[in-house]
């Protein structure tokens, strides 16, 4: 809004042809149409998924994809949660464990690291930071196979740790924490804390963490989503299906649908159920998240 009003006042160009009055609602309309189109574009697949998970197997392929047929959601859910001894619930639990605990610890590590880089001067600081920045550029998928060989060397493949430990690392989180700590934790405050006799660790946890809270939430969310969606690492590391996260479990099911067509239902409903935790995490933390992004972005 403010941007639009400002351009209005500026331009002899926009004032020409009496465009002043007409352009304002026009550009608003255009903005809304574009936003609406994209909203629709992003929401249609979720809508399709929601609708598809209420359909019985027969109607799934024989009725229109975007509208409901007979309501079978409860049957489908029962099938999903009882198939193969209820392994789906276990996968969901695993994913929450990998992503939840991993994201909390990952956030802690990243924030401490970023904070240290921002607030303590030491030799090689910039070099260290640049190396970490370089880490942002390396896609996690490319690391899966080297990680597999490393974990094999210490006999730790196919364990909870083989997926959990690599998930703790977040170069992007360190970057964000450093930017945010530099911007939002005043040196004077740290100085005051030191004068009052607070140790560095205590200062970090009682003062700095609170100031950095929006950034921490951002890092947590990013990390949570990254781990939740990291599919290739578990695929390479795990062979025991009891350790699978939900993404890999659904993928394994989906790869068997040629032989066991009934599984399609489970895959679809399972995919639908699996996005619920992500939606909850986003809705719950959305407020902080927006604040965090803006602050990081502006100061960067």
Partner 1 sequence: MHRHTLARSGAAVVAGAVLLAGCSGSSDDGATEGADAPACAPSEGPVELTYTGWVPGMEDAVALWNEANPDIQVTYNTGPSGNAGTYQDFFNQLEAGQAPDLGQIEFDTLPNFRVQDGLVNIADCEGVLEAGDQFVDWTWQQVTFGEEGSVFAIPQDTGPMAMFYRADLFEEAGIDVPTTWDEYADAAAAIRDEGAYITHFPRTDVNWFAGLVWQAEGRWFENDGEQWTVDLTGPQSTEVADYWQGLIDEGLVKDTAGFSDEWNNELNTGELWTWVSAVWGSNSISSGAPDTAGDWAVAPMPQWEPGADAAGNWGGSSVAVLKGTDHPYEAAQFALWLNTSEESLTALNEGGGLYPATTAGLELPALKEGLEFYGDQPIFDVFAEAAAATDPSFTWGPTMAQTYNDVADGFGAALSGSGTLLEALQAGQDATIRTLESQSIPVAE
Binding site for partner 1 (CB under 8 A): 57-58, 60-62, 84, 145, 148-149, 152-153, 157-158, 235-236, 239-241, 248, 251-252, 255-262
Q: Which is nearer to partner 1, 116 or 144 (CB)?
A: 144
Q: Which is nearer to partner 1, 91 or 222 (CB)?
A: 91
Shortest reach from residue 249's CB to partner 1, in Å: 9
Shortest reach from residue 39's CB to partner 1, in Å: 26
Shortest reach from residue 271's CB to partner 1, in Å: 15
Q: Count CB atoms within 10 A of the CB of residue 281.
A: 19
CA distances from 15 to 7, 30, 31, 122 (A): 10, 19, 20, 57
Shortest reach from residue 254's CB to partner 1, in Å: 8
Helical spans, DSSP H, in 11-101: 12-15, 19-52, 57-62, 73-82, 87-96
Shortest reach from residue 160's CB to partner 1, in Å: 15
Q: Count CB atoms within 10 A of the CB of residue 164.
A: 15
Q: Which is nearer to partner 1, 208 or 247 (CB)?
A: 247
Nearest to 136 by CA among 177, 108, 190, 191: 177
Q: Which is nearer to partner 1, 60 or 224 (CB)?
A: 60
Nearest to 220 by CA among 140, 94, 97, 108: 108
Residue recorded with tokens 């933390």 = 285
Which phi and psi angles does 158 have, rounded to 5°? Answer: 60, 35
Token pair, residue 227, equals: 């781990």
Shortest reach from residue 233's CB to partner 1, in Å: 12
Q: Answer yes or no: are the C-beta atoms of 245 and 234 closer than 8 Å.
A: yes
Shortest reach from residue 90's CB to partner 1, in Å: 13
Q: Which is nearer to partner 1, 13 or 258 (CB)?
A: 258
Q: Which is nearer to partner 1, 116 or 266 (CB)?
A: 266
* C-alpha to C-alpha distance for 224 and 11, rounded to whole angstroms: 46
* C-alpha to C-alpha distance for 160 and 234, rounded to whole angstroms: 10
Q: Which is nearer to partner 1, 236 or 281 (CB)?
A: 236
Q: Which is nearer to partner 1, 148 or 288 (CB)?
A: 148
Shortest reach from residue 253's CB to partner 1, in Å: 9
Nearest to 260 by CA among 56, 83, 70, 115: 83
* C-alpha to C-alpha distance for 60 and 53, rounded to whole angstroms: 9
How far is C-alpha 40 from the geometric centre of its chain's CA atoms? Answer: 21
């Amino acid at each position: 809004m403010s941007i639009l009003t400002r351009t209005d006042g500026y331009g002899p160009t926009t004032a020409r042809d009496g465009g002043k009055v007409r352009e304002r609602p026009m550009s608003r309309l255009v903005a809304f149409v574009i936003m609406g189109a994209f909203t629709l574009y992003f929401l249609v697949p979720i809508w399709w998924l929601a609708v598809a998970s209420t359909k019985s197997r027969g109607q799934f392929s024989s009725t229109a994809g975007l509208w409901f047929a007979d309501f079978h959601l409860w049957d489908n859910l029962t099938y999903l949660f009882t198939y193969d001894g209820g392994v789906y619930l276990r996968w969901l639990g695993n994913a929450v464990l990998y992503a939840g605990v991993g994201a909390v610890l990952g956030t802690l590590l990243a924030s401490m690291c970023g904070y240290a880089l921002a607030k303590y001067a030491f030799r090689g600081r910039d070099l260290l930071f640049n190396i970490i920045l370089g880490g942002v550029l390396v896609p996690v998928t490319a690391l899966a196979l080297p990680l597999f060989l490393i974990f094999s060397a210490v006999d730790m493949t196919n364990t909870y740790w083989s997926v959990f430990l690599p998930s703790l690392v977040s170069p992007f989180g360190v970057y964000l924490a450093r930017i945010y700590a530099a911007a939002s934790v005043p040196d004077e405050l740290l100085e005051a804390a030191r004068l009052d006799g607070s140790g560095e660790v205590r200062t970090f946890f009682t003062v700095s963490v609170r100031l950095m809270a929006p950034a921490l939430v951002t890092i947590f969310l990013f990390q949570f989503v990254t781990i939740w969606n990291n599919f290739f690492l578990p695929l390479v590391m795990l062979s025991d299906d009891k350790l699978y996260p939900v993404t890999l479990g659904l993928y394994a099911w989906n790869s068997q649908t040629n032989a066991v067509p009934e599984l399609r239902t489970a895959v679809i409903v399972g995919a639908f159920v699996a996005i619920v935790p992500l939606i909850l995490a986003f809705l719950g933390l959305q407020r902080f998240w927006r604040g965090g992004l803006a602050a990081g972005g502006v100061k960067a």
